Amino acid sequence: MVKSLIAAASLFAASQAFSLDWQRPDCSAFDSFSECRNAEANDYRRQKQQELRDKGLSFWYFERPDFSDNEDVEKALEEKVEGVLYVAFSVARDGSVSEVTVRDQSSEAVSVYAAPILAAMKNWQFVPSEKSWPDQEWRYQFFFEPEECDEDSQGEDCTAESDSTI
């Protein structure tokens, strides 16, 4: 039931114009949650890198955010704070990255992840090109495996399921 609801919600979200009413990706087609999360991240990165490359921006060095050694982030991960962050950045002609800022976010809570992301993105390096590239964008999503629902579960997913049960 949860799966079908998520799927329906995803379809709905996809048909709307850009909105920060963020919805966790649909994992119903995957055997495991981790597979789903990896596929989502990889598909986005692949699509985005190809998109950038097609217009002339090619990565030399991509750095992943380091979420360790940050108490706030670790707490957020533990509490499974979900959402999306859209980060804007500019690429200079020499391939260096600057003006890295959070452009949008699905909730205030998710901004807890911003600091390590911004730090990593500032280290990105692109292959130099003939011109500079202002106002680029990258997306980071955070979502976790839904808890198994039982009678005592108070999680969002479980509530959603019970709400939809007639």
Partner 1 sequence: MKKLKKIAAALVTGMVAFAGAQGALAEDNKNKKEVSNYAASLGEMPVPMEDLFRPVAYTNIRISPDGKHFAAGKTREDGLTDGVIIDRRTMEIKSTLAMDGSVGVSAIQWANKERVLFSFSMKSATSEGAGSSSIAAMNVDGSRKEVIWTGTNDYGGNESAGLAGKIDNKHYRVVVYPSGSGLNFPLQYIYKLNIYTGKNTRIARSPIRLANPIFNKDGEITHWVGRLPDSFDHTVVATKKDDGDWEEKVFHNAKGVFAPVAWTREDDWMWYTDTIEAPTKGLYKVNVKTGEKELVYRHPKVDYDKVFNDDDGNPWGALIQYDYPEVVYIDEDNHYAKTHKRLQGTFPNKVINILNRTSDGNEWVVHVGDDRHPGSYYVYNQFDGALKFLANQAEWIDPTNIPATHPVRFNARDGLEINGYITLPVNKQAKNLPLIILPHGGPHGPRDYWGYNKERVVFANAGYAVMHVNYRGSGGYGREFLFGGYGKWGREMQDDLTDATYWAIQAGIADPDRVCIYGASYGGYAAMMGITKEPDLYQCGIGYVGVYDLNIFMTEGDIPLREAGRTYLKAAVGTDAEERARRSPAANTDRIEAPVFLIQGQRDVRVHWAHYEAMRDALVQQEHALETLVAPRAAHGAREKDSQKEIYCRMIDFFDRHIGDGKPTDRPASDCVPQGALGLEYKYYEGVKRG
Does 46 bind partner 1 (CB under 8 A)? Our answer is yes
Closest to partner 1 by CB, 42 vs 101, is: 42
- Build a one-symbol-per-residue string for 98-127: x at contacts with partner 1 by CB under 8 A, - elsewhere: -------------------------x-x-x
CB of 130 to partner 1, least distance (A): 9
Instruction: Give the relative orientation of helices 2-15 and 156-164 as an angle to the nearest 10 degrees.
Output: 100
Residue 84 to residue 59: CA distance in whole angstroms: 23
HEC readout, 45-95:
HHHHHHHHHHHCCCEEECCCCCCCCCHHHHHHHHCCCCEEEEEEEEECCCC
- Residue from 3, 62, 75, 144 touching partner 1 (CB under 8 A): that is 62
Does 58 bind partner 1 (CB under 8 A)? Our answer is yes
Does 45 bind partner 1 (CB under 8 A)? Our answer is yes
The three-state secondary structure class of 136 is: strand
Closest to partner 1 by CB, 5 vs 45, is: 45
Burial of residue 29 (CB within 10 Å: 0-12, 13-18, 19+) is: exposed
CB of 50 to partner 1, least distance (A): 5
Closest to partner 1 by CB, 132 vs 164, is: 132
Does 93 bind partner 1 (CB under 8 A)? Our answer is yes
The three-state secondary structure class of 96 is: strand
User: What residues make contact with partner 1 under the rule CB under 8 A?
Assistant: 42, 45-46, 49-50, 52-53, 58-64, 93-96, 123, 125, 127-128
